[in-house]
């Protein structure tokens, strides 16, 4: 029996090592920063043929750190303990792509409204892939609706969808933009909530599926507040404007249900051992 347990433990450890080198998220508040490049369509143009998409982009997470709850269900601040993940220093990168964002409806408090949209997260193992850099132009990066060379490769972590609740003036909008993009240059702020798409699960899906943030439209899993600034290197004509995006994000990670079950079984086993000893 002992040999069997040791064999199972060794097999599990070996499978885990092969399955993914991605970092594990600590339970509790999380504060992340990422930088990216994007394209924004204006004047009725779209950024992907055959769709209504007006915005897509790619990003690299620069740091991840634990967070302190500022306002329960509303705001998480950096803890000040320093990051537990720094780009490239853990043998990998956290990269991703956002896409499918469409023109939103009118709203008094929303200068540049948007609706719908997804965000995919990947772990890029630098033993298998070369490091991704944001210094490139947009040409040749997008390989499909949800595909971007250098950003959607590696271990799939989670798919998020931009969710409602940020725009109090229109319950269908998912993103609140402060500035209408213009070819003459622009700088704005975008606020949004996101929820985990559990129909396409990755390594972090259960951990990020917290329903922690409270909104008038329901509970959400993550919160973003980013700046977007004109970047001509990513432009593709007068109606497809390039921009650099800098995003701090907030999340509250929870244990995976399987981990809770294993913990419960372990506690039951410990209790049984103690009862036998007392008997």
Q: What does the pLDDT look like over 220-272, one tens digit per residue?
A: 999 999 999 999 999 999 999 999 999 889 999 999 775 443 334 344 444 44
Name the 3-class secondary structure at 146. coil
pLDDT at residue 97, rounded to an integer: 98
Domain positions in the chain:
28-278
- Which of 95, 123, 96 minimizes the C-alpha distance to 22? 123
Strand 118-125 relative to strand 155-163, pairing = antiparallel
Cα distance between residue 166 and residue 74, in whole Å:
11
pLDDT, one tens digit per residue, over 116-165 is 999 999 999 999 999 999 888 899 999 999 999 999 999 999 999 999 99
Using DSSP, how many helices (H) and how many strands (E) does the chain show? 3, 16
pLDDT at residue 92, rounded to an integer: 96
pLDDT, one tens digit per residue, over 155-203 is 999 999 999 999 999 999 999 999 999 988 999 999 999 999 999 999 9
Kindly state the average pLDDT of the residues 31-37: 95
CB 201 within 8 A of CB 153: no
- Give the Å distances, CA to CA, from 36 to 56, 59, 183, 227, 235: 10, 4, 19, 10, 14
Q: Is the predicted pLDDT of residue 110 greater than 70, yes or no?
A: yes
pTM, two decimals, is 0.85
């Amino acid at each position: 029996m002992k040999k069997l347990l040791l064999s199972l433990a060794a097999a599990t450890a070996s499978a885990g090592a092969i399955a993914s080198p991605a970092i594990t998220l600590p339970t509790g508040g999380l504060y992340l920063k990422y930088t990216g490049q994007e394209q924004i369509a204006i004047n009725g143009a779209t950024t992907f043929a055959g769709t209504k998409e007006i915005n897509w982009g790619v990003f690299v997470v620069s740091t991840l750190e634990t967070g302190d709850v500022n306002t329960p269900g509303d705001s998480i601040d950096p803890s000040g303990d320093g990051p537990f993940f720094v780009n490239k220093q853990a043998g990998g990168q956290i990269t991703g792509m956002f896409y499918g964002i469409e023109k939103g409806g009118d709203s008094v408090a929303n200068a540049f409204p948007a609706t719908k949209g997804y965000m995919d997260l990947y772990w890029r193992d630098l033993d298998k892939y070369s490091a991704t850099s944001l210094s490139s132009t947009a040409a040749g990066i997008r390989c499909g609706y949800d595909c971007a060379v250098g950003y959607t490769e590696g271990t799939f972590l989670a798919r998020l969808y931009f969710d409602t609740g940020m725009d109090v003036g229109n319950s269908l909008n998912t993103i609140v933009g402060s500035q209408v993009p213009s070819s003459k240059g622009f700088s704005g702020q975008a606020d949004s909530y996101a929820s985990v798409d559990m129909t396409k699960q990755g390594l972090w899906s259960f951990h990020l599926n917290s329903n922690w943030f409270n909104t008038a439209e329901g509970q959400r899993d993550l919160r973003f507040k980013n700046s977007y600034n004109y970047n001509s290197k990513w432009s593709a004509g007068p109606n497809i404007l390039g921009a650099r995006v800098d995003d701090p994000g907030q999340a509250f990670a929870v244990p995976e249900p399987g981990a809770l079950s294993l913990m419960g079984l372990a506690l039951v086993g410990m209790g049984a051992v103690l009862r036998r000893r007392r008997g």
